[in-house]
Amino acid sequence: MREAMRHASRGQGSPAQQRYAVLSLGISLTRTADGESPRVDLDVLERAPEHAQNVTEALREFQYERHAGTAPNDPVDLWQLVEGAVISEDIDVLVVHIVGHGELALGSSEKLYILDSAGKRLSHPASAWIERVEDREEGHRPLTLFVLDVCYAGEVAVTSWHAQMDVAARRAWVLAATGPKDPAFGYRLSKALTAVLGKYRAREIRFDPSVQYIPPAVVFQDVERTVQDLAATGGGGLPQKIITSLVPSHADLSQLPFFLNPSYGETRARQGLPTGMPPEIAALASWAWDPEHFMRRAGGAEPVNRDWEEGYFCGRDDELQELSSWLDDETAGPGLRAVTGRPGAGKSALLGVLVCAAHPTLRRHTRALWRGLGGSAPGENERIVVVHARRLGLGQIVDSLVRQLRHIEDQGGSPVQSGGDSPPLDRHLVDHLATLLPSDGRTVTVIIDALDEADRPEQITEHLLVPLAKKAQNVRDGWRLLVGTRDDGRFIELLRMARDENGCTDLSAAAPESVRSGVTEYVDTLLSADGPYAHGARRPARQALAQAIATRLTELGPAQGKDALQSGEFLTAGLYVHYVLAAEQPCDTPEAAAELGRAVPRSLTELLELDLRRHQDRPHLRAVLTALAFGQGSGVPESVLLHTAAAFSGPNDAPLLLHELYTLLDGEARFYLRRAVDVDGTTLYRLFHEGLAEWLRDSADRQPPDPSDPDPPDSDPADAPARRLYDQLLTCVPRDGQGQKLWHLAASYLWRHAAQHALDAGLLDDLLEDCGFLVHAYPPALAVAFPHARARQARLNAKVYRTSWTLHRAAESPAARLQLLTVDAARLRNHRMRTVLPGDPHWSVRWAAGHRDPEGPVRVLADDRGWIRALAVVELAGRPHVLTTGADGSVRLSDLATGQLVRRLRGHDGSVRAMAVTGLDGGPHALTAGTDRSMRLWNLTTGTQTHQLEVRGGPVLALTVLELEGRPHALTAGTDPSMLLWDLTTRRPTRRLPGHGRPVVSLAAVELEGRPHVLTIGADGSVRLWDPVTGQQTRKLTGHSGSVRAVAVTELGGTPQALIGNHDGSACLWDLASGQQRRTLVGHTGWVEAVAVIGLEGRPHALTTSADGTARLWDLDTGSRVALLRLPHKASAIAVAPNDTIVLSIGHEVVAASLEPFARRIR
């Protein structure tokens, strides 16, 4: 992607040096002489030019210039006008916007054509513009976004060949008003894009100043949200959903430069990593170890709201020296060390300095933070792995350790971007991590900070840290462990082990004289760096102020009450310095300064109240900070914070307006905040210290009673702070006209954290019963929530989700999770979940192992005999039935509509591997064969075996039926090198065909030039065509990409065709008359297991299944993939049933999936 971006900018780097252009065409129809539309079936669209102009004006605010062209209704070739723009040599970034009419070439190519003002198609389809951009080998090509506000615009967005292009190489992108088969209404896309860009420009929606371009996915989501609003408020109930270019969900499009961030480079501080920080540090952040946390804590500047790079760390000399020496000597004991102390005692500051000085990546970029420590700082150490555990769960911490351990082993390579699947969270966890230790045998030191702030720290301690600490008792085992945490009951065993080895450093138990000296130096350093006390004449006052603050905070006091020291001396001192510099007049005399210093509150509550009282004119400040105190993860975005702050506003406070929130975040609240950038480019906010968050949460729980109420009611659970916040959180979720939540349009913060907020509010069950949420929620967040489900339906839904947990975790998109949930809900007979899950536009699935549900398009059956080896569909008494074979030698016949087992056919002595259905003696019969070297005929009407034919040679792996000279025959093949032809009337073999010389794994009968033929696939990877009458091979199909194992035959255009599945994940369509390969279907990432051909609405389609766990539907006329179904496991066989239904075997189960939803879309 970066390479593509460099090409777009021609290496100039700055948007100001690039040319942005917009070509916007509003194509209305020219009325006839009698004032009518030239096409009676089409509206004139008189306002199309107006909306084209609106889009142009909106884009001008984003550096776009109008492309020199002509008015859309002028007599020019509009297709050539667009073509000229997309190959223009003097445009770097281009938007082509068309609002008008679109028309599909029905009955032929199905491609989309834009109509001109006379209602006639342009000279080429719209997709030809994409081809013009992508296929041009020489010359400059602008990076182009096509915004198509026409009916059926999605046809251009889902073009198969374009979807398969390398994302980084693409030059053309599409934003379509609607789906490939759907109409567009009321200029909605044009209106929505204009409105969204207007909000960006007016800063109604803000993005972080460090983000140069607004990610296209965010723009598209905001446009989709606005289109939905237009449909609900004035759309007459007509639905519309935008479509965009198909890309893998993991593709990073954030650097596509179509939409410049209006806030880029503004001075409202991001307070994150400084500009120019090397990418290797950003990579560390992606490993979940949060280098910014350690850098900020080491700097010690947060309490006074200064740049982290200043470096104010002071004190803790003995502790620093001891831990530095321990880090430098990787063989030194004890193997387990812990740093404890009350909140604000400096645990993270101490660990931060150690990490910044020792970690090779941070060391050279953070010298200002540790250089002044001299010989007390540790040396460089490439054998440490580091995690900031705040808000992380066990799986995330393990994944971070895995990535870092692999990086140590691969020193000199690029940072590891993915750790792959984490090991199972069981007692073998540490053993698995040990396998990742570097092969040189040297010790690795693991540093975990803020363990007490992690998600479920008891689980992390039990499953990871205690076992790791036990390993670390013998340094020769390769481990050492350093943990920073508060001392409380959750970590008794871990801290006992540290104390037993004299490895526990309790900062709250340090000698008062040492702490007083460190605090004095810290305060003096803060005051002397900047502000009124930096003046030389105030040195005596500054020193007196520092000494007085330090003395007051380190003197012995009560353990409880107002005068108890609630937080660490260093945090409290820093916060008070901030207050003194912001609110108090500077003292000129040591006496006055000492008096001011002795006034420092020892209570964090009193200290923070003292600071908040400075902002009495900002009534919403406390509400905003309190909402942030309840925030999860890396922080809360502005769009969510605007809602959640309302949960803590006073009854007489006016509603918080968006511009007021911005003013607070950029002004009075800024001191309390840390910022991060979300994946969507927005700013995330959280409080800079957990002690502050705890105080605000406690304060929200202790709301004073109304003094005017003589009889205050008992506390109402619905009024609990977490409940109020959760109620407000749900107001962030857009809803449709029926009030249903549109989770796909919700902020990503809710996908990540709504489950935890619901758990805190006591409303988790309600959320887990919302299947729309389950589709979009982040799987790791659900893993934490599921054990807390209590209501029956919530537990059932959790069970369904967990059934395919590993697939959900790896799923590329919500659409993938929806399909998995749909299948698994049917497998587990979760009827309510099946009913309320959002419908898939292509497939409809049900699972009913014995469950009666005659209505509905699909049926899924379970077979308890192990892996299903073969299946077939047959009609009995006018009803579809499915035959399945198993490892126990029986064949099972089930009613596909009701799920009832009709009968079991018993007789084989081994696994049944092959099956076919044919008509014999006036009735339906099944032929089965397998490892017992027999072929058996079954009367399916009576369920009786009519004949048993002995097959000499090895086990039978494949069979097919065909008609020769008016008589039914069967061909069997397997491990024996030759194949045997049987006359089913006489029940005797008539010919032996030579075969492949190796086992034959698949057979298919086909008629070619009026004569019956058989297509065979061998274990040798070859595909051969045989004349069974003569026994001669007539053709060998060559050119396959690897081994093949699946085949289906059909007739297209009067010519016999074969669809063959390959080992490399492709499927090829072959013309059997010419022996030429006609088309290749590419998309699977695993071996193609089974193929079939089905006709839908008169068009031929292919079905393929793969070891990648998907079933895919392809249009054989165009070669494009038109639908995809994700399955819990690979499907090894396919059969086609009536009514657009396909039947798949998945392990020991059968899934029947209806294509009726897709068929409706193409009608």
Tokens of residue 657, six digits: 């307006």
DSSP-assigned letters across all residues of 1085-1099:
SS-EEEEEEEEETTE
Query: Quick one: average pLDDT of 119-134?
Result: 94
CA–CA dist 425, 171 (Å, integer): 44
pLDDT at 245 over 70: yes
Return the pLDDT at 270: 43
Beta bridge partners of 901: 894
CA–CA dist 310, 292 (Å, integer): 14
The confidence band for 641, taking pLDDT boundaries of 50, 70 and 90, is very high
Query: Quick one: average pLDDT of 564-570?
Result: 81
Give residue 839's identity as a one-letter amino acid code: G
Return the pLDDT at 862: 53
User: Dihedral angle at the C-alpha atoms of 106, 110, 114, 115, nearest 10 degrees?
Assistant: -10
Exposed (0-12), middle (13-18) or buried (19+): which is 713, by Cβ within 10 Å?
exposed
Which one-letter DSSP state was computed for residue 636?
Answer: E
The confidence band for 110, taking pLDDT boundaries of 50, 70 and 90, is confident
CA–CA dist 389, 484 (Å, integer): 10
CA–CA dist 160, 168 (Å, integer): 17
Is pTM beyond 0.85? Reply is: no
- Residue 536's alpha-carbon distances to 379, 460, 522, 529, in angstroms, are 36, 51, 18, 11
Which one-letter DSSP state was computed for residue 715?
Answer: P
Buried b / exposed e across 370-404, counting CB within 10 Å, b at 16+?
Answer: beebeebbbeebebbbbbbbbbbbbbbbbbbbbbb
CA–CA dist 521, 346 (Å, integer): 14
Which one-letter DSSP state was computed for residue 599?
Answer: T
Backbone angles phi, psi at 691, to 5 degrees: -60, -40
Return the pLDDT at 607: 84
Return the pLDDT at 398: 92
What pLDDT digit, counting tens, does each position of 1093-1118 carry? 998 877 899 999 999 999 999 988 88
Share of the chain above pLDDT 70, in %: 89
* Cβ atoms of 40 and 112 closer than 8 Å: no
* Cβ atoms of 1135 and 1092 closer than 8 Å: yes
Taken in order 335, 341, 343, 347, the sign of the CA dihedral is negative
Report the relative pairing of strands 1149-1154 and 1141-1146 from DSSP bridges.
antiparallel
pLDDT at 16 over 80: no
The residue written with tokens 């060391």 in the block is: 363
CA–CA dist 570, 303 (Å, integer): 9
Return the pLDDT at 11: 37
What pLDDT digit, counting tens, does each position of 1027-1041 carry? 999 999 999 998 776
Q: Of 962, 1025, 1009, 1016, give the one whose Cα is nearest residue 990.
A: 962
What pLDDT digit, counting tens, does each position of 257-297 carry? 999 999 987 755 444 444 445 566 666 666 667 888 899 89
User: How many alpha carbons lie under 13 Å from residue 749 in its C-beta half-sphere?
Assistant: 30
Return the pLDDT at 863: 53
CA–CA dist 19, 29 (Å, integer): 32
The confidence band for 1062, taking pLDDT boundaries of 50, 70 and 90, is very high
The confidence band for 411, taking pLDDT boundaries of 50, 70 and 90, is low
pLDDT at 848 over 50: no
* Cβ atoms of 480 and 330 closer than 8 Å: yes
Return the pLDDT at 916: 96
Residue partners of 787: CB distance under 8 A and separation at least 6: none
Give CA 806 to chain center in angstroms: 14
Which one-letter DSSP state was computed for residue 905?
Answer: E
CA–CA dist 317, 485 (Å, integer): 20
Tokens of residue 828, six digits: 């587990």
* Cβ atoms of 1149 and 861 closer than 8 Å: yes
Exposed (0-12), middle (13-18) or buried (19+): which is 685, by Cβ within 10 Å?
buried
Three-state DSSP class for residue 953: coil
CA–CA dist 998, 1005 (Å, integer): 20
What pLDDT digit, counting tens, does each position of 527-554 carry? 999 899 999 999 999 999 999 999 999 9
What pLDDT digit, counting tens, does each position of 766-777 carry? 999 999 999 999
Cα separation of the two ends of the chain: 38
What pLDDT digit, counting tens, does each position of 481-496 carry? 999 999 988 999 999 9
pLDDT at 230 over 80: yes
CA–CA dist 1108, 1104 (Å, integer): 11
Q: Of 893, 890, 927, give the one whose Cα is nearest residue 907.
A: 890
The confidence band for 603, taking pLDDT boundaries of 50, 70 and 90, is confident
What pLDDT digit, counting tens, does each position of 862-886 carry? 555 567 889 999 999 888 899 999 7
CA–CA dist 445, 326 (Å, integer): 10
Q: Which of 340-354, 398-412, 684-698, 966-980 is the least confident region?
A: 398-412
Backbone angles phi, psi at 9, to 5 degrees: -90, 0
Three-state DSSP class for residue 572: helix
CA–CA dist 531, 533 (Å, integer): 6
What pLDDT digit, counting tens, does each position of 317-330 carry? 999 999 999 999 99
CA–CA dist 775, 790 (Å, integer): 20
The residue written with tokens 């511009």 in the block is: 659
The residue written with tokens 């951009």 in the block is: 133
pLDDT at 60 over 60: yes
* Cβ atoms of 223 and 191 closer than 8 Å: no
Query: Quick one: average pLDDT of 121-138?
Result: 91
Q: Which of 65-69, 89-93, 360-364 is the least confident region?
A: 65-69
Tell me what the pLDDT averaged over the chain comes to.
87
Domains of the chain, start order: 2-178 (3.40.50.1460), 279-508 (3.40.50.300), 512-615 (no CATH), 616-704+715-732 (1.10.10), 840-864+1045-1163 (2.130.10.10)
